[in-house]
Structure formats: structure tokens, C-alpha cells
Structure 1
Amino acid sequence: MARSDLLLSLVRAGTTGDEGRFRRAVEAVIAEERAKNHGVLAERLDSALRSARPRSGHGLIPTGGLRAVDGADDLYEEITPRRGFDDLVLTADLRRSCDELIEEHHRVELLRAHGLEPRHRVLLAGPPGNGKTSVAEALADALLTPLLRVRYDALIGSYLGETAGRLRRLFDAARTRACVLFFDEFDAVSKERGDAREAGEIKRVVNSLLLALDDLPSHVLLVTATNHADLLDRAVWRRFQVRLDLPAPTRAQREAFLSAAKRARGLAEGLSPRALAGRLDGASFSELEDFVTDVARRALLNQPDADVKAIVRERLRDWDSRARAS
């Protein structure tokens, strides 16, 4: 049985003729039934919604029905989250913001009972390699939903209007269930429309994106990541209810990350997180993980006479050489 708040929303939409509200309520019911593994009911509701036609010119469902989502599967890859917030090193403010967002989605019934919805549009900004993708994965893990990562190789088209059409199909497919929809390198489809260097196609894409953002139901948590927040269209930027910065890690964060990575890799001797945190100044979380993984790989291959300290010294020389070259 659907929740009382959704049933009330359906009734109110029907009595007021609010097409958008009606569609969002039905989609929320479908997403909830799928989450309960009621696949047959969910598919029947979805089919009924897509094939519905108004009895007159003033019905709740537009004459054309909902747009088909056939062929949308290639626009994203579905990922089962394998990393949670306990696996990440975050600032206290960033962790608090994520915890509050998760609570809103876990207690959505209380919010809806008072006419409120959980926030569901998140923008992550910061230099590469500092955890934006990991935060998206951790949010999906905390909400027990799949992570749908957008595939730009399939989304971006070469013909006029092709990308905008695919973008609409992507959002139509995502909204049929509870999920985290993740756009990495989000500026690829949301650049400032006033930029004279951009062709007219990006303006069409951004216009379609704005419509999709406004119509996105709250059971879809949209998480976007960019290394260049200054390039985003201002209207797109304003649509995001949560904006989080993920800067390069501090020395204390590097030490905490290296300590956790050392335990995970079983490197009991020869790797001092405190000393390495100082030597690897300016490293991103991704670079730190690569460093520890490289040490662990070489130590394993050098068994039974592996000298972890010597391996670390060698890898540090490599790091210093790359730092000087850059």
C-alpha cells in the first residue's frame, strides 16, 4: 500500500488539475513499489502512466503521454555502491551537510506531512582527485539506492538537438525509481549560455537541463561534480539546493587517509603516515591512494624479502621528480 502522504498528494493533484504534481506523485509511488520488490505492480503503474490519455482536452496527463525512455540504458551505467562515509576522510562541515541530506531522505514522510520535500540537487566542486565521486557513491550507499553514472560518450551527440533529446531521455529513465543520478564533469552540459565562445547547441542543452532540473522528483538525488564551478551557467548553479566544496586535503587529512590506507593494505611496517603526509604535500586523495597501492603492490611482488621502507623511499623519489617536473 502506498504511503498516506503520496495518496493525499494524488488526490490534491486530481482535484486541482496539477499535472506536474500528479505525475511526480505517481512516479514516487512507482519508485517506492520497486524499492519493496513489487516489480509487477510497479511495471503496471508505469505502463498505465505512460499510456494514459485525457478524456477531454483538460486531463491530468498530456495528450502525448510521457516521453518514451526506450534506448536510455546506454546513457548511464548502474553501479552498486561499495564505499560508505566511514571510508572517507571529510571535514566536519562536509560530513554534517551530507548527514543532514541523508536524514531528510530517510524521514521524507515527516517532511511531506508538513508540505515539504527533501533537498535532492547537489553540486560538488573542487580540484580533481579529492573525493567528489566517492561522496556520490557514499550517498547512494547511505540511501540504499543504485548509483547511475552518466556516460558522456553516449549522451553527447554530433547532430543539432541530439544531446538535448538524449538528456531528456536520461532524466525520464532516472525518475522511474529511487536512485542517485551522478554527473561527473558536469560543466560539459551546463556551461554559461552567455559565453560567446560557445555554439548555439550548448544553449539548447542548458535550456533542456533547466527544465529537467525543475521537473525532477525528490526521490531522485541528483549529484553533480565539477572542477570548474565558475564555468557553470548561473541559472543552473542557482537550481542546486546543496553546494559543497571539496578542496585539496590538509596535512591532517592526508595523515588520516594514509593511516586508514595503511591498515587496509596490511602494511604494518615501513610506512609512517605522519612522515608521508609531510612529504606528499599537495597530493590529492586519489594520488595518496595510488601511492599506497603502488607500495603494497611492490611489497607483495618482492616477497618474502620485501623491504617496505626501501620501497617507500624509492616511490618518494619518484614523487619528488614528478613534483619538480610540474
Structure 2
Amino acid sequence: MARSDLLINLVKAGVSGDTRTVKRTVEAIVAEERAKQHNVLADRLEKVVETPPMNGQSNIARVSAEASGRGAREFIAEMIPRRRLDELVLPDLTRLAATQLIEEQQRASLLRSHSLEPRHRILLVGPPGNGKTTLAEAIAESLAVPFFVVRYEAMIGSFLGETATRLKRVFDYARTTPCVLFFDEFDAVGKERGDIHETGEIKRVVTSLLMQIDDLPSYVVVLAATNHAELLDRAVWRRFQLRLTLPAPTQKQLAAFLSSLSARAEIKLGLGTEQIAKALGRVSYSEAEEFFTDILRRRILSGDGRAVVDIIREQMKLWMGRARAAPGISKDESDAGSAAP
């Protein structure tokens, strides 16, 4: 929102006693100042709203210690986004949707001048290892904002109400700055509330989660990823403005991905990437990248004594053996998708 609109909203809310709008407007101003690296001013604003009023009434716009980071940091891992969107092999519609979202965030002021907000809630669905986390990272890199990953192992507690309280701290902290907030394995906290096998506690967590998502300002881009979309609460789906699928790669997409890795590493493979992709068979992008990294390791350790093509053939044999040993993959499936080049 433009600075003039923020100030007008703040005055209107203060005059009318709308404490909710006052709180959200102050949070938006603090986030805007932090985005401009005006940290001294942002800190002073937070300090002002943290100061108890002289008349002893409740603080209408209190920004808690947890929200300013002193109580939420243990539940969030801040990552440096390094992957770029143009490096990713994505379905055409997924790339288009991600590009549109980035443009809306970058040109948010224009949208707000027309009383519109940029989209900022995205649900990523697909099997593991096919780019959900990487896409979230690439969006953060494109927007040049912090990339926060929620740490479930620290946030989920064993006492009644503890998880919901910690979850609120995470959202309160995210509101203090433009950022990408990423929930991996989202089904861990967004499970179907109608499941009779779930406890009342997880139902309370889901209810709190939905309320917090609804209350997020549009400068916080929240991405949630899941491998098990069927486990999500039905109300979760409508909270997300974009629902993107990242399926397992086709052989053509896998070949393009290997070509991209080879070009970035400036290595000539000596074999066609289509041939390698066919030999790898049914693998995810993550597994294909792991295979390519194995090649890099062996190339470095062998020096100039071996051709890259010989290293690839050797690693291919190892991967064929690994595929046959994987649970749920029959020998016939492995042989069909892993013929040596």
C-alpha cells in the first residue's frame, strides 16, 4: 500500500478505535521500512507500540517480543535463496503462474492504486523430489526477500495449545518484513479435521492455521508444499489463490534438466542427455541432480585420468543396482527404465 494510504488508514483507525486495523497498518509500515533497510526507524516504531499506555488500558497495537523475533526465531530457519526461476524445468502453466505472481508482487504499488492486492498464497502439490522447495526458493530469490522455512520439529509441542501458540508467533514474526514463508510437508499441520483418528489438538491447530493465513498481509508470500494432497483439510484448499502441481518429470523434461546442469557446470557429458534420461528411468529431479553430483565428484577425484563418458557409464551401473534394490520397484520395471547406454 502507498505510504499516503497507510497514514490515512492509521489515522482513520485510530479515530474510530479500530484496534485491528491499527495493528495491521503499523505492521505494514514496519515491514516497509525494513524492506528499505531503515532498521532504526522500524525498531523505534516497534518500541513505541510495545510501550504500555499511561492510562493502564490494554495496548491496542502491541507488537510482541515473539513477533519481533525474540520468541519466533527458534521455529523458523532463514535460508539464503540461491536457485533462480530460469534454472528450473517446470510445466508451462506452473511457470506462467509463478511468473505472474512474481510480477504482481514486484508491481504491488500499481495494483494497490487500483484497490487490488497481489496474490500471495500458493499451494504446491506433487511427489517428493520434484521441485516444490526449489520453486519456493526461486520465488524468494526473484523477489529478493528473506526465505523463511518453518521448523516443525521445534514448533510442534506436546502440551495443550502449545503448537497453536507457537504457530501464531511464526505468523506474527513473518508480518514484520516482506518475505517468503515456506511450509514443507504441509499436511503435518493442515490435516483434515474430519478425520476421526486425529486428536482435538490437531483440529485446534488447523483452525488457528486457517485464521492466521487469512490474516496475512499480501507482502508475505506463503507457500505450502505437500506430497499428500488427499490428507489436507478441505477448508485449506480455498485459502490458497494458486494451486500448482509439480509432477514427476517426463523423459524429455529430465533430459532438459540434465542439459541445464551440464551447461551450468560447463561439462561435456559425452553422451546425449536423452540417452542418459532414458537409462535413469523413473527418477525425480532431486535424484537426477544427485546422479549428476556423483559424476562431478568422481570427475574431480579422478583428475584428468578418465573420460567423463566412462565415469557416467560406471555411475549408471551403480544407479541401476540402486533402483533394483528400491522398495516397490519390480525387477522388470527397473530393467525397462534402466538399460545401460
- Shift of the 86–128 alpha-carbon distance from structure 1 to 2, 3 Å rule, reads same
Q: Which amino acid aligns with 2:22?
A: F
Equivalent residues in 2 for 1:298-309 (5 A)? Answer: 298-309=298-309
Where do residues 161-172 of structure 1 align in structure 2 (5 Å cutoff)? 161-172=161-172
| Conserved 8 A contact 1:111-1:118 | yes
Give the corresponding residue for 2:60. 61
Distance 1:52 1:117, change over 3 A: farther
Question: What's the secondary structure of 2:291's corresponding residue?
Answer: helix
Counterpart of 1:208? 208
For 2:32, the equivalent position in structure 1 comes to: 32
* Contact in 2 for aligned 1:267/1:296 (Cα 8 Å): no
Q: How big is the shift at 1:55?
A: 6.7
Unaligned runs of at least 5 residues, structure 2:
330-341
Match of 1:144 in 2: 144
Q: Distance in 2 between matches of 1:143 and 1:276?
A: 35
* Gap change, CA 1:176 and 1:52, over 3 Å in 2: farther
Unpaired segments ≥5 residues, structure 1: none
Is the CA contact 2:175–2:217 (under 8 Å) kept in the aligned structure 1?
yes
* 1:91 aligned onto 2:126: no
Report the residue type matching 2:276 in the other structure.
L
**SS state at 1:78 partner:** strand
Question: Which string of whole-angstrom CA distances, capped at 9 and with x for unpartnered residues, describes residues 135-185 of structure 1?
Answer: 111111111101011111111112221111111111111111111111111
Q: Please list the CA deviations of residues 229-272 of structure 1 after superposition, one character each: whole Å capped at 9, or x if unmatched.
A: 11111112211111111001112211111001112223214242
> Is the CA contact 1:127–1:247 (under 8 Å) kept in the aligned structure 2?
yes
Tell me how far 1:316 sits from its aligned partner: 1.7
> Does the 8 Å CA contact 1:68/1:169 hold for their aligned counterparts?
no
CA offset at residue 16 of structure 1?
A: 4.8
Q: Is the 8 A contact 1:148 1:180 kept in 2?
A: yes
User: Percent identity among equivalent residues?
Assistant: 55
Q: Name whichever of 220-229 and 20-29 sits farther off.
A: 20-29
Measured at CA, do residues 316 and 189 of structure 1 come closer, stay the same or move farther in structure 2, by a change above 3 Å? Answer: same
Residues matched between the structures, number: 322
Q: Deviations over 1:84-108 (max 9, x none)?
A: 1011111221111011111111111
Q: Partner residue of 2:311?
A: 311
Which segment drifts farther, 233-242 or 44-53? 44-53
Equivalences for 1:1-326 in 2 at 5 Å? 3-51=3-51, 53=53, 61=60, 65-69=62-66, 70-325=70-325, 326=329
Q: Is the 8 A contact 2:50 2:59 kept in 1?
A: no
How many Å separate the matches in 2 of 1:55 and 1:204? 35
SS in 1 for 2:71: coil
Normalising by the residue count of structure 1, what TM-score does the alignment of the two structures yield? Answer: 0.92
Contact 1:19 1:60 survives alignment (8 Å): no
Whichever residue aligns with residue 244 of structure 1, its letter is L
Where has structure 1 moved over 4 Å in runs of 4 or more?
52-57
Q: Deviations over 1:177-200 (max 9, x none)?
A: 111111111111110111111111
